[in-house]
Structure 1
Amino acid sequence: MKPVVQNPPRSSAKTASKAKSAAPAPFNAFSFSQEQFQALAHLTLAHAKKLGASNAAAEVSEGSGLSVSVRKAELETVERNRDKSLGVTVFVGQRRGNASTSDFSEQAIAQTVQAAYDIARYTAEDPHAGLADEQDIAPVGTHLDLDLYHPWAINSEEAAALALRAEAAALSTSRKISNSEGASVSAQHSHFYAAYTNGFEGGYASSRHSLSVAPIAGKGAHMQRDYWYSSMRDAQRLASPEIVGRYAAERALSRLGSRRISTRQCPVLFESTLAAGLMGAFTHAINGGALYRQSSFLMDCLGQQVFPEHIEIEENPFILGGKGSSPFDSEGVRVAPRKLVRDGRVQGYLLSSYTARKLGMRTTGNAGGSHNLTLSSKLTQSGDDLPAMLKKLGTGLFVIELMGQGVNGVTGDYSRGASGFWVENGEIAYPVEEITIAGNLKDMFMGIEAAGADTYNYGAKTTGSLLINRMMVAGG
């Protein structure tokens, strides 16, 4: 199997600048301006104050987009979306109520605020409820321009043409590519503005565009399916349809002749796209919600050795164009780059204001989740590409697909259906399927022997392939 085709990530070495006037958009993706949203948010807060709310938060948002799919050289679907919402949270002391509306008229806003206020009056008090503390919010005027919005003025005919090119490239790769589950192109745009009575105000626009294709190789009971995609905030940085289509086809072809293997223990190499999922299990375990509910297998892990000493995980909200970039979290709290893991030891949790109060700690600016996580190893060399990682694996399993949701967040037990390749002496021997890999995440994290230089950005997480020293593989 060939190494994963990668889009070059936007350089994290660039320094974000303070918000500045953007160049005129090539087309208007929205029906409302940020100034109109600001006025609506202020109007919402005014209604809340008039009712006697002790605190309130208002957020106004809008999204628009186009999604087109094709299959076997024919247009299948064209979907356009345009939606808008105004949400309000009202606090009456330490009682909290929420309501939302898609009607931006003053009467509808007043009714929505009233509904949130009425809910708050009759809910139970929560001593930890409330807006973020004023000293934690990102001051107005300091919000960074993180290059998150790149509108794509594409119409349905142009989107269909791109999808057809991707599918045609896949189908023409080999006569063994027998069918297609289709190809799709999506262009999505959104923006919001939020205002809270603790003094926070801010908002920004963002975009997310993608291209994907899923070819089928072989025939009958021996068919194999795989896919590939490219996703970027800036459509100009998407991989070409031909590259996406050919690589998706190569992945499907490489799986022909898959077989089962006998049950054994062996080292396992996770492809970089799947390694990001292991990072996701870690971030879930150090999330404040799981910690205060005592439903995490990493309880009280702050300062503890969770990974080998060579592993580090960094969070950086300020990567220009990053998929997890933001000048503030969803509560308006300031964010900053930091090490989540240093020398294998946990340096911090992922906390919102509420979960921090529950734990007797301070918010980390992670209401809404983490921001651009990167896992790295001090042992990684520049030449540690996928072939080099297969050499390090030696004899074992290289996993490229996982199935099922077999992760227990409380115990750390891990069991997933898998497929991939059996590797002998650092070379792929044959594809395998219908197997299960199992272990415990504590052991798996501590068992990471190497991280590849074949880094890939999957959502807001970046990592290379990860080599785990030993797992149970159940086959036929």
Structure 2
Amino acid sequence: MNNLPDSDLRFSYPISTLQQIAGDILKQAEKGGATSCETNVSDGFGQTVTVRHNEVETIEYNRDKGLSVTVYIGQKRGHASTSDFSPQAISDTVAAALSIARYTADDDCAGLADVELLAKDYPNLNLYFPWQIGVEEAIELAKRCEHSGFTANKLVANSEGATVAVSESQFIYANSLGFMGGYPLSRHSISCAMIAEQGDSKQRDYWYSVVRDAADLETVESIGRKAGERSAARLGARKIDTCEVPVLFEAPIAAGLIGHFASAISGNNLYRKSSFLIDSIGQQVFTPDIQILELPHVHKGLASGPFDDDGVATLDRHVVENGIVQGYFLGSYSARKLGMRTTGNAGGTHNLIMKNSAPLPFNDLLKQMGTGLLVTELLGHGINPVTGDYSRGASGFWVKNGVVSHPVEEITIAGNLKDMFRGIVAIGDDIIVRGSKQCGSVLIDRMTVAGG
């Protein structure tokens, strides 16, 4: 487990107390008539400092705790939760879950994970790094970050602020099959948003860094500088005529394409028939050069975890091999609904990485594209999960003969995700890790760009 010597001193409760609460819940559920039970008990805290125009705008500090109880009476399921850890509140929550279960219909897919799939001797993935930073130090970092944004370009005239955030938590998951496990986690970030002005034109952009270990954060000067440079670069944006051209998704937003794919092959969407990739195992969805890996055991990984929300052990997987789908993302319930076996994805995916055999530097991607659109921001959520139709507002830069020509705005890019996946012709080596999906910039051979 990821227990560090000072972790208990940082939280409201030692992790042994969370274990005791979880054990008590299981006993009470069994005594109340549950045939099986699972529970998650957690607590954590956060500190957020925001500076704007070199003045402190907000200082926030939070402590949170909560527990959830899921009981099964045969194939009937009941769920209840509370943020009160008093013995009476815990007893009332268990009783509420049992009462709900007695009045629900049987569900032949309900129940705990199969016992043989539960994690046993799981690895320490180094997911907890306490950041011993006081408010004064956080304020100073935020001021330096914002100052770097203002000095990045003379056209940067305003700020939406710079923020330094600390978040630490711990949890215990336990079920009546004898599984009990958990560990502390950390997630720290620094962000900055700047506004550039020229005449009547104003443009905003931002940059941020998020990590488990604060020692791995980008420098505040780099974050502020990038926010300022990006906002200034957008000045003078114009509309373009409607056309069909290659589209290059910049790395920070390209990871969203993996997210659309992951959603389409996730169990909940598949058994509800709300996916454009139903029955896609063994199908060529991407070009043969594309691989998508799931790597849940990456040390310090933002989406790493030795077991999923069902307690099932996670494993490295080749989700897409040579463009062909090898498997879905399933928890125990969705797997049963589909007549399949869980993949350890109850609660979500773990470090999905899309790559090809020859990732290119960003400038080489521009050259390969020739003339087309570089997208740096997406707006709206115009995606049909059943058909795969894709239509979103966008802004970015027009590229001519492999060179950035001018910024563009008030445009819409449209296509179908099936065609877009098959149309990925190159991937960049400029990976930016900010969450559970990772890839470099992605070049798609052709999309419709609707201008003004």
TM-score bin, normalised by smaller chain: over 0.9
Is residue 257 of structure 1 aligned with residue 252 of structure 2? no
1:159 is matched with 138
Is residue 80 of structure 1 aligned with residue 61 of structure 2? yes
Secondary structure of 1:259 counterpart: coil
Distance, in Å, in 1 between the alignment partners of 2:199 and 2:242 is 27
Q: CA deviation at 1:20?
A: 6.9
Secondary structure of 1:318 counterpart: coil
* One-letter identity of the residue aligned with 2:220: P
Q: 1:36 aligns with which of 17, 25, 37?
A: 17
> Do the aligned residues in 1 keep the contact of 2:70 with 2:77 (CA within 8 Å)?
yes
2:176 is matched with 197
Task: Output one character per residue of 1:134-157: Cα deviation in whole Å (capped at 9) or x when no partner.
Answer: 111112xx0110000001121222
* One-letter identity of the residue aligned with 2:375: V
Q: 1:340 aligns with which of 311, 319, 329?
A: 319
Task: Output one character per residue of 1:199-233: Cα deviation in whole Å (capped at 9) or x when no partner.
Answer: 21100100000000101011463111100001111
2:197 is matched with 218
1:22 is matched with 4
> Do the aligned residues in 1 keep the contact of 2:34 with 2:98 (CA within 8 Å)?
yes
Secondary structure of 1:251 counterpart: helix
Secondary structure of 2:418 counterpart: helix
* One-letter identity of the residue aligned with 1:145: N
Task: Output one character per residue of 1:32-60: Cα deviation in whole Å (capped at 9) or x when no partner.
Answer: 11111111111111111111110001211
Judge which range, 291-300 or 95-104, deviates more.
Answer: 95-104
Is residue 134 of structure 1 aligned with residue 110 of structure 2? no
Q: CA deviation at 1:256?
A: 1.0
Q: CA deviation at 1:23?
A: 4.3
* One-letter identity of the residue aligned with 1:390: L
1:12 is matched with none
TM-score between both structures, scaled by the size of structure 2: 0.98
Distance, in Å, in 2 between the alignment partners of 1:98 and 1:467 is 45
Aligned alpha-carbon RMSD (Å): 1.1
2:361 is matched with 385
2:214 is matched with 235
Distance, in Å, in 1 between the alignment partners of 2:314 and 2:272 is 24
* One-letter identity of the residue aligned with 2:398: W
Task: Output one character per residue of 1:160-214: Cα deviation in whole Å (capped at 9) or x when no partner.
Answer: 1111111011111222101011111100000001110022110010000000010
Distance, in Å, in 2 between the alignment partners of 1:221 and 1:287 is 46
2:447 is matched with 471
> For residues 27-66 of structure 1, what are the structure 2 equivalents within 5 Å?
28-66=9-47
Task: Output one character per residue of 1:340-378: Cα deviation in whole Å (capped at 9) or x when no partner.
Answer: 000000001000000000000000000001100100012
After TM superposition, where is structure 1 displaced by more than 4 Å over at least 4 residues in a row?
none
1:432 is matched with 408
Task: Output one character per residue of 1:400-426: Cα deviation in whole Å (capped at 9) or x when no partner.
Answer: 000000111111000010111111111
* One-letter identity of the residue aligned with 1:416: R
Task: Output one character per residue of 1:363-394: Cα deviation in whole Å (capped at 9) or x when no partner.
Answer: 000000110010001233xxx21111111111
Q: How many residues align?
A: 452
Gaps of 5+ in 1: 1-18
* One-letter identity of the residue aligned with 1:76: E
Distance, in Å, in 1 between the alignment partners of 2:265 and 2:434 is 20
> For residues 401-420 of structure 1, what are the structure 2 equivalents within 5 Å?
401-420=377-396
Task: Output one character per residue of 1:322-351: Cα deviation in whole Å (capped at 9) or x when no partner.
Answer: 001001001100110010000000001000
Q: 2:166 aligns with which of 159, 177, 187?
A: 187
Q: 1:287 aligns with which of 266, 269, 276?
A: 266
* One-letter identity of the residue aligned with 2:421: F
Secondary structure of 1:258 counterpart: coil
> Do the aligned residues in 1 keep the contact of 2:308 with 2:346 (CA within 8 Å)?
yes
TM-score between both structures, scaled by the size of structure 1: 0.93
Gaps of 5+ in 2: none
Distance, in Å, in 1 between the alignment partners of 2:85 and 2:221 is 44
> Do the aligned residues in 2 keep the contact of 1:276 with 1:458 (CA within 8 Å)?
no
Percent of residue pairs identical: 54
Q: CA deviation at 1:282?
A: 0.1
> Do the aligned residues in 2 keep the contact of 1:178 with 1:219 (CA within 8 Å)?
no
Secondary structure of 1:226 counterpart: strand
1:15 is matched with none
Secondary structure of 1:444 counterpart: helix
Distance, in Å, in 1 between the alignment partners of 2:128 and 2:78 is 32
* One-letter identity of the residue aligned with 1:127: D
Q: 1:103 aligns with which of 79, 84, 87?
A: 84
> Do the aligned residues in 2 keep the contact of 1:167 with 1:213 (CA within 8 Å)?
yes
Q: CA deviation at 1:21?
A: 5.8
> Do the aligned residues in 1 keep the contact of 2:2 with 2:128 (CA within 8 Å)?
no
Secondary structure of 1:456 counterpart: coil
Distance, in Å, in 2 between the alignment partners of 1:205 and 1:117 is 29
> Do the aligned residues in 2 keep the contact of 1:307 with 1:448 (CA within 8 Å)?
yes
Q: 1:90 aligns with which of 66, 71, 78?
A: 71
